[in-house]
Amino acid sequence: MDTGGNSLPSGPDGVKRKVSYFYDPEVGNYYYGQGHPMKPHRIRMTHALLAHYGLLQNMQVYKPLPARERDLCRFHADDYVNFLRSITPETQQDQLRQLKRFNVGEDCPVFDGLFSFCQTYAGGSVGGAVKLNHNICDIAINWAGGLHHAKKCEASGFCYVNDIVLAILELLKQHQRVLYVDIDIHHGDGVEEAFYTSDRVMTVSFHKFGDYFPGTGDIRDIGYSKGKYYSLNVPLDDGIDDESYHFLFKPIIGKVMEVFKPGAVVLQCGADSLSGDRLGCFNLSIKGHAECVKFMRSFNVPLLLLGGGGYTIRNVARCWCYETGVALGTEVDDQLPQHEYYEYFGPDYTLHVAPSNMENKNTRQLLEEIRNNLLDNLSKLQHAPSVQFQERPPDTELPEADEDQDDADERWDPDSDMEVDEKRPIPSRVKREAIEPERKDSEAPKGTVEQARGFDNLATNETLSTKSVDVRPMAIDEPTVKVEQETSNKASDPIYPKS
């Protein structure tokens, strides 16, 4: 089987991969608040498209087991996790000091079911890592995950728990090296920070750089100490198109795969880098975005696909549906099937949307400078760093329920999910969105870049250290995960009723 380059087609003749897909039918019920651009409902819309395109029958579908507090505390500070568990819209006015300390309130509002939401999306990402570690699948997908801004003890950029860091820590139990690639329009600062001093995790982020949230991700930020040259940042300007994006993505990632030789890859597929995103300023088509998934798939390395940003929700659903097809090696039809969210996709009712005619501010000269700079950094790497032998701890216990065996009859309710976000809005939030809906993330306060980022596991919650999270295998008192028995999926379209 071919193992490198862009050798594997994603059409009907593509080499098939065994795919595990994580979805909780409750995820679409969570509501950040009136005027807030982050809408978990987009995950339900994506799932509906997958069902009506018939893609679910080609995957093993799992409902994730919610991550427990001790799972979240493998990266996050105990008091921060306790705060997320206890805070509610009714009690937040009594905890103003804590809200400020943990950066919760505006971009990251308190809403009904906040902690359950965090447990759900983190459980899907860690569960996907467990499936990959046990060779249950070749590719695991959790579109509810990918919340890359969350820090050890604070929320940031609509993200509360960093499911990506937790999934990578799980993968490191089995794999000596893990590669993280981020194609969200925003810099993957939370993940980079966590592994900034490690040579076991390489982070590569392609993002808008300049006066733009979170303000980090300079090309000169390359890692620190043992992690020097293991952080790659690809700073881009407005209007980048498919051709320019791939001019950087393919040679850089190709060289990373050659030199770093990861045992597993985590790809954050934030859809706010698509043309026409509510908060974005790039000009990628859905096929151009998905070409990155196709390219990573071609290396035949265990792959975890996660969601992320994306604020024009009809395009988010289009994108992640198409990328699920790419993961499966199936080309899906451009004409959308009739389904309960069909009216969202008018007037064309097609899967693909043409990019705009916006100016591409990324000149060829600038792109060549970026590419040469990063390839030069990669040439300085020690090839495939080794890890000292140590006893491997047991895997996290996440025996996800197989959705094919749960509520088989109820799932086919034709009237399911017809009414959107009926929960009573919680007042407040995201001032810039409420005042000027069209303003961009660039107006958020610019983040600071410490020379040596990350929080020491042993440090106090608010003290920066030159160490990042310890990425050695971490012993936890949990039995080995039980592997689910394979069952054949239903051929019909599993749409979950709204509870």
Annotated binding site for a divalent metal cation: 184, 186, 272
Residue 89 C-alpha from the chain's centroid = 26
Catalytic member of 41, 47, 149, 175: 149
- Return d(Cα 241, Cα 95) in angstroms, integer: 45
Task: For residues 402 and 119, give the distance between their C-alpha atoms in angstroms, rounded to a whole number.
Answer: 18
Binding site members for substrate: 107, 157, 311
In angstroms, the Cα distances linking 50 to 158, 288, 386, 405 are: 25, 20, 40, 19
CB atoms within 10 A of CB 399: 14
Half-sphere exposure of 161 (CA within 13 A, CB side): 34
Q: Which positions make up the binding site?
A: 107, 157, 184, 186, 272, 311
Tell me whether residue 149 is one of the annotated catalytic residues.
yes
**How far, in Å, CA of 469 to CA of 484, rounded?**
31
Angle of the 242-260 helix axis to the 364-379 helix axis, nearest 10: 10
In the 3-class helix/strand/coil scheme, how is the chain assigned residue by residue? Answer: CCCCCCCCCCCCCCCCCCEEEECCCCHHHCCCCCCCCCCCHHHHHHHHHHHHCCCHHHCEEEECCCCCHHHHCCCCCHHHHHHHHHCCCCCHHHCHHHHHHCCCCCCCCCCCCHHHHHHHHHHHHHHHHHHHHCCCCCEEEECCCCCCCCECCECECCECCCHHHHHHHHHCCCCCCEEEEECCCCCCHHHHHHCCCCCCEEEEEEEECCCCCCCCCCCCCCCCHHHCCCEEEEEECCCCCHHHHHHHHHHHHHHHHHHHCCCEEEEECCHHHECCCCCCCCCECHHHHHHHHHHHHCCCCCEEEECCCCCCHHHHHHHHHHHHHHHHCCCCCCECCCCCCHHHHCCCCECCCCCCCCCCCCCHHHHHHHHHHHHHHHHCCCCCCCCCCCCCCCCCCCCCEEHHHCCCCHHHCCCCCCCCCCCCCCCCCCHHHHHCCCCCHHHCCCCCCCCCCCCCCCCCCCCCCCCCCCCCCCCCCCCCCCCCCCCCCCCCCCCCCCC
Positions annotated as catalytic residues are 149
